[in-house]
Structure 1
Amino acid sequence: MSNQKIWFVTGASKGMGLLLTKLLLNTGHKVAATSRNLGLLKSNVGLENDLFLPIELDITNSRDVKLAINQTVQYFGGLDVAVNNAGFSFIGSLEELTDEEFRKALDINLFGTVNVIRASMAQFRKQRSGRVINIASAAGYIAGLNIGSYVASKFAIVGLTEALALEAKHLNIKPTVVLPGSFRTNFLDEGSLNYAKTPIAEYESADTYRSYAERAGKQPGDPQKLALELVNLANMENPPVHLILGPDSFKMIMDKRAQDLEEFEAFKKISLSTNFE
């Protein structure tokens, strides 16, 4: 195929990563797909051919990530698109989460993304081309109740992508942060939700847990359409730095930005009062 690309996709054994991997393979792309569980990855993809390179990987291990990227380049002869899809979330207030729990969320969502970007950049610089697609969330702009660690990581992914866009522009490397709304994947299924181990009654995090669980299977977003838009994104000559996907995400983000502007204007006099006279 004329637009065949070499992709590196994290978190590919289930959810959005699995759908994207299958779509890419079915349309003739070359895919290095990673998961902590190699057997599950191979079984769920259900395909074995020269276009598919399954890799067992803990994205929080920077050395292993570098080895995985190098393996991809050696096997396929290059790398065109790195997709940071792997994600993790604890439900729990900031006070409820232990240091270990909070750091785990950031290790996977943020530092795992940083590891993949850093490992990919050497090849992208060599080629003077490359795409980085960072999957964030509407929560990259909007705080959600009792998901502070997830929100912190996704806000960071937005800023990280903006910084990378500035750093890599002259190298023809084009990053995009994708901000999906609620799509019908297994992210809200019982096996994917993680609850703080030391709950505090005043925060009612258990109610938050149930509210998320009750949305499973009822999300309005079509994940197949999301996967297709990620492929389209990689083919754009001038991709956006930010791509909102889903009417719900678009409305929430625009409403939040309007609220921010209203607050900024309300306190503008104070903001402008701090220079030397």
Structure 2
Amino acid sequence: MTERLVWLVTGSSRGLGRAIVEGILERGDVVVATARKVAELQSLTEKYADRLLLVALDVTNPEQAQAAVGQAIKRYGRLDVLVNNAGYGLIGAFEEMSPDEFGGQMTTNFGGVVNMCRAVLPTFRSQRSGHIIQISSIGGRRGSAGLSGYAASKFAVEGLSEVLAQEIAPLGIKMTIVEPGGFRTDWAGASMSFATPMESYEPVVGAFKEWIKTYTGTEPGDPAKAAKVLFEISRMEEPPLRLPLGVFAKQFVKEGYMTSLTELDQWSSLIEATEIDGSSDESHTFLALGDKTK
């Protein structure tokens, strides 16, 4: 792999995406920065003209996804890292969300990832190298009331990525699922939408909306430090498959594991009561191996 890597970052005009672009450029790599409105990135072109390419991209459009990868290859001759960062949040109870609102979460947060992975894999496969970094969320590990659409989209990203990681590893392609906790970006600000509230859900979802308003701007996560971490894992021969970011994220994920283990033990008798008498677990060995298979 070349010493100076070529990155393609989606949703890079603001927030964490913008911090990733700036952090990678500051460390000497090349970046293809994509967004629906790339004009917000123009200020970076003067300083990094030779190492920055701006490409207008709506990740929900498969043709635009293919074209963005094509422009990156045409300009720099290769592509080394794809960062799937584009996405947004929507707060509301599931019943409060219209079909379009819920579907929009899936179309952008998950469908956009699918489109970009499809666009980049032929290049990575032919190179026998590449690294896909999915910006998921701690909401892709555990659900929270008021974020059903967001959690559904991020759980889908996690499932796709876990399977894809096993399929592409023999081709020399790496996968990392990044799961940020609270970061000081505009995720809960300009990037957040709200469903029309219903009185019945006010005690739970309404309280969460009020809390998120006070939390915005006080989050402990530093986007610039997240960019540094991404740069570091791009240089690893064996990067982590999953990487929670932040002290809260680590604890949140750990508590999820503990809850699941407790539940498994609590309901063991029912779980094991469904086996055919005299059956052997040997037939399940392949599935149990998961990504350990080569």
Do they fold alike, i.e. is TM over 0.5?
yes
Deviations 1:22-78 (CA, angstroms, capped at 9, x unpaired): 111222211101111121232477645021110111000011100111111111100
1:166 corresponds to which residue? Answer: 166
Separation in 1, partners of 2:266, 2:234? 40
Pair 1:71–1:208, CA change in 2 (3 A) = same
1:86 corresponds to which residue? Answer: 86
Separation in 2, partners of 1:87, 1:66? 18
Separation in 2, partners of 1:46, 1:152? 40
- The answer on whether the counterparts of 2:9 and 2:31 sit within 8 Å (CA) in structure 1 is yes
Match of 1:199 among 197, 200, 203: 197
2:256 corresponds to which residue? Answer: 256
2:57 corresponds to which residue? Answer: 57
What is the 5 A alignment of 1:17-166?
A: 17-43=17-43, 47=47, 49-166=49-166
- The answer on whether the counterparts of 1:13 and 1:45 sit within 8 Å (CA) in structure 2 is no
Separation in 1, partners of 2:40, 2:163? 35
More divergent stretch after superposition (35-44 vs 140-149): 35-44
Deviations 1:89-144 (CA, angstroms, capped at 9, x unpaired): 11011111111001111111101011111100010001000000001111111111
Pair 1:145–1:273, CA change in 2 (3 A) = same
Separation in 2, partners of 1:194, 1:19? 22
List alignment gaps of at least 5 residues for structure 2: 278-294
1:178 corresponds to which residue? Answer: 178
Deviations 1:207-263 (CA, angstroms, capped at 9, x unpaired): 322211211111111221111000101111101111111110000110111011101
1:270 corresponds to which residue? Answer: 270
Letter of the aligned partner of 2:240 in structure 1?
P
Separation in 1, partners of 2:201, 2:116? 35
Separation in 2, partners of 1:173, 1:158? 17
Separation in 1, partners of 2:199, 2:73? 50
1:8 corresponds to which residue? Answer: 8
Separation in 2, partners of 1:178, 1:45? 27
Deviations 1:173-229 (CA, angstroms, capped at 9, x unpaired): 00110011111112122x222001x32111123432221121111111122111100
Partner SS, residue 8 of structure 1? strand
Separation in 2, partners of 1:130, 1:84? 14
Q: Matched residues, percent identical?
A: 36
- The answer on whether the counterparts of 2:20 and 2:223 sit within 8 Å (CA) in structure 1 is no
- The answer on whether the counterparts of 1:11 and 1:17 sit within 8 Å (CA) in structure 2 is yes
Q: Report the RMSD for the aligned CA atoms in angstroms.
A: 1.4
Letter of the aligned partner of 2:4 in structure 1?
Q
Runs of 4+ in structure 1 displaced over 3 angstroms?
A: 43-48
